[in-house]
A and B are shown apart, each in its own frame.
Chain A
Amino acid sequence: MDQTTWNFIFIGITFGVYIGIAIWSRAGSTKEYYTASGGVSPFANGMATAADWMSAATFISMAGGIAAAGYGASKFLMGWTGGFVLLTTLMVPYLRKFGKATVPDFIGDRFYSNGARLVAVICAIFICMTYIMGQMRGVGIVFSRLFDIEIWMGVLIGGGIVFFYAGLGGMKGITYTQVAQYCVMVFSYTIPVIFISIIITGNVIPQLGLIGNYIKDGTEASVPLIVKINQISTDLGFAEYTASTSNTLDMFCITAALMIGTAGLPHVIVRFFTVKNVRAVRKSAYWTLGFIAIIYLTAPALGIFARTNFVEEINQKRYAEAPQWFKNWESQGMIAWVDKNKDGIMQYQAGSVFDGKPVYADENRAEGGPRPVSNTLTESPNEVYYDRDIIVLANPEMAGLPKWVIALVMAGCVAAALSTAAGLLLVLSTSVSHDLMKKILKPNISDKQEIRYARIASFGALAIAAYFGINPPSSFVAKTVAFAFGLAASSFFPTLIMGIFSKKINKQGAIAGMICGIGFTLGYIVHFQFLTDSKDYWFGISPEGIGFLGMIINFIVAFVVSSFTPAPPEEVQELVENIRIPQGAGQAIDH
C-alpha cells in the first residue's frame, strides 16, 4: 500500500472515533456543555488535560527546538511542566470548590464587580483567540502535506471537525475525544523514538537515552551520548549542546513567565471543573502531569537522537548517495542543499546557509540534482538547510520505519492540534454565552438559549480563527506564544491567587492590578516585537519573559490600591473562607 492510502486509513479511523464520541456525548444542558456535569473520572481527565495542553506546536516543533538549542530549550521543558505545580497547589482545588463554570465567573463574583468580569472575559477571549489561530494553521499544514491539498482546504476540514464535536458536544464531547486524542498522540510520538533509541543507544526506553551511551558505531568503545553530541557540535562550529548560552536572568524570567502563564491559561483551568470534587482534582492533577511527562521526557531524548542521526547521515556525504528521506523532505520544501564549494558533498556546519526560508528555483534543476534556491547565500561554509519540524515529522523515515508509522505520526499531529483547538473553542464560546450574555448583557435568557449562544459563538470564533489560519497576519502567529503566556501570567494568575489567598484585595485593587499588569506586558511585547527591531531589552529580558514582571506589577498595584480603598464586603470574605474548605464542591453526575 502506498503512503496516501495509509494516511487515509489512519486519519479516517481517528476522525471516525472522534465523531462517534461526539454523537454519543451530545450535551443537553449548560452544565453538561460547560463542565460535563462534573462527572469525569480523575484518570480520564488527566489524559484529556494532557491532550488539551499539548498543542500542535509542542507536538511538531518542540523536539526540533531542543535539537537546535540544546540546554537553552530547557526553559520550555521546565516552563510548560512546572506550571502544573503552581496550578495544582495554588488554584484549581479552590476554583473547583467555588463550583462555577468559567474563570471570569470567579473573578466577577470574588471581586463583586461586572467590570472585573468584563476585563477577565476580554483577556480570556484574547488569549484563546491568539492560541487557536496557530492550531488551525497547524491542522491546515498537516492536511495539505497529507493529501496534497491547499492549506485553506485543510483548515476548513479541521475546523469543521472541531465545530462538530466541540461546538455541538460541549465539554462532555471534548473530554472524551481528548482522551482518545491523547492515546493517538502518545503512541505516535513515542513509537518512532523507541526504534531510534534502539539504533542509537540500544535501550528500549527512549527517555533514558539522555543518560545512555552511544553505540551506533559498534566497533569503538561506547561513549556517553551527551559527550558524543557535544563533540559533534563543537566539531561543526556549534556551541556545546549542554552549555548555557543565553543570559541567566533572561532564562529565569522566561521559565517563570511560561510556568505562571501555564497556571493562568483558562482552557487548562476549566478542565479541572469537570471532575467530581476537590479530592478528584488533586488526583487528576498528578495524572495530568504524569501523562504530559511521558511526552516531555521523550522530547529531549528525541532531540538529541535526531541531531546525532542527522549529522551522521548527512554531513560529508555525497548528495547522490543521500538517504531517501532527505530527498523526500527536500521535495516537501523543508530541506535544501546548496553546493557552495562545488564538491558534490554536503557540508553541514554552524551558521545559516542563506537568509530566511528557501525559495526554490525548480526550473533550473539539473536531472538528479538538488533543488536550486534563489536566496542570497551567506558567507558561512554551511550548505544544509533544514526546517526544525522535520525532527518529528521525518523521524520515522530517518529510523527506516514502515509507512504506517508515518501515517500514525501524521494522525498524532492532527490529534494534537484538534484537541487544543477544541479546548480553546469551549472557553471562547462560554466566555461569550455565559460571562458576556448571561452575566452581563442579558441575565434573563434560559438555559437553552444560553447553549444556543454558546454554539453560535463557537461557530463565530472558529470562522475568525480559520480566516487567520488561512491568512496568517505576517509573522504574527509565531509571536503569539509571547502574547498568550504574557497575558495569562500578568492577568489571570495574580488575580486568581489574590482572590483565593487574600481577603483584603477588593474590586478596585483587582481591576487596577489587572489593567496595569496587562498594559505593561502588552506594551513591552508590542514595542519590541512590532514597533522596533532593536533588541535593547530592559535588563536583557526578552518579550517572552516579560509576563513575569507584569505579574509582579499586578500584585503590587493591587495591594497598594486595596490598602487605600474600602475592604471587600462581609459576604465576599465569607466566600473566600468557604472556598478554602474542600468539602461540598457541588453535585456531580456520573457518566
Chain B
Amino acid sequence: MTAHPKPSSSYWSDSLKLVGKLLFIWFLVSFGCGILFKDFLDQFSIGGAPLGFWMAQQGSILCFVILLVIYAHKMNKLDDQHGFSEEE
C-alpha cells in the first residue's frame, strides 16, 4: 500500500461546506416545505395540487434525487482538484 498524501485541510473543509449546503436544501424541501411551512405553501398550487401537499408527497423526493446527482458531480470535481481522482 502506498502512503497517502495528508489530506490538505482545504479538501476536508471544502467537502464539509458542500455537504452542509446540500443538507440545508434537503432540510428545506422536506421538513421545511413538506411539514413546517406546508399550510402556508398550500395557498399556491402546482397543476391541480396544493404546493405544500405536493412537496410532501412527491416534490421532496424529486429534490432528493437531484441533490444526490449534484453531490456526486461536485465531489468528483473536488477530488480532481486535489489529485484524488480515480477511474470508475
Contact = CB atoms under 8 A, between A and B. Distances in A.
A77 interface: yes
A296 B68 CA distance: 16
A89 B58 contact: no
A537 interface: no
Instruction: Tell me if A's interface is mostly helix, strand, loop or mixed.
Output: helix
A210 B7 contact: no
A581 B46 contact: no
Nearest to B16: A501
B26 A74 contact: no
A365 to B, nearest CB: 41
Contacts of B23: 85-86, 89
A283 B86 CA distance: 13
A530 B76 CA distance: 49
B61 A77 contact: yes
Contact of A82 (B47, B49, B64): B64
A289 B62 CA distance: 9
Interface residues on B, range: 35 or more
Question: Chain B's interface: helix, strand, loop or mixed, by majority?
Answer: helix
Nearest to A501: B16
Given A244-B39, A248-B35, A286-B69, A77 B57 contact: yes
Contact of A297 (B12, B38, B53, B61): B61
Interface stretch (A219-227, A455-463, A469-477): A219-227
B2 interface: yes
Contact of B88 (A77, A90, A277): A277
Contacts of A282: 68, 71-72, 75-76
Contacts of A78: 30, 34, 56, 60-61
Contact of B11 (A223, A256, A578, A581): A581
Contacts of B58: 77, 207, 210, 297, 300
Interface string A284-311: 0110011001001100100000000000
Contacts of B76: 279, 282
Contact of A289 (B6, B36, B65): B65
A74 B49 contact: no
Contact of B19 (A89, A211, A251, A300): A89
B47 A85 contact: no
Given A78-B34, A293-B61, A224 B68 contact: no
B2 A584 contact: yes
A66 B48 CA distance: 18
Contacts of B87: 279
Interface string A263-292: 000000000000011111011011001100
Contacts of B67: 85
A152 to B, nearest CB: 38
Interface string A85-110: 11011100100000000000000000
- Listed from nearest, the 5 A-B pairs whose CB atoms lie closest are A224-B48, A211-B47, A74-B56, A282-B72, A286-B68
10 contacts: A77-B56, A78-B34, A210-B58, A242-B49, A255-B31, A255-B34, A282-B76, A289-B64, A293-B64, A297-B58
Given A74-B53, A212-B48, A582-B75, 9 more contacts: A77-B58, A82-B60, A210-B57, A211-B46, A211-B54, A252-B31, A282-B75, A289-B68, A293-B65
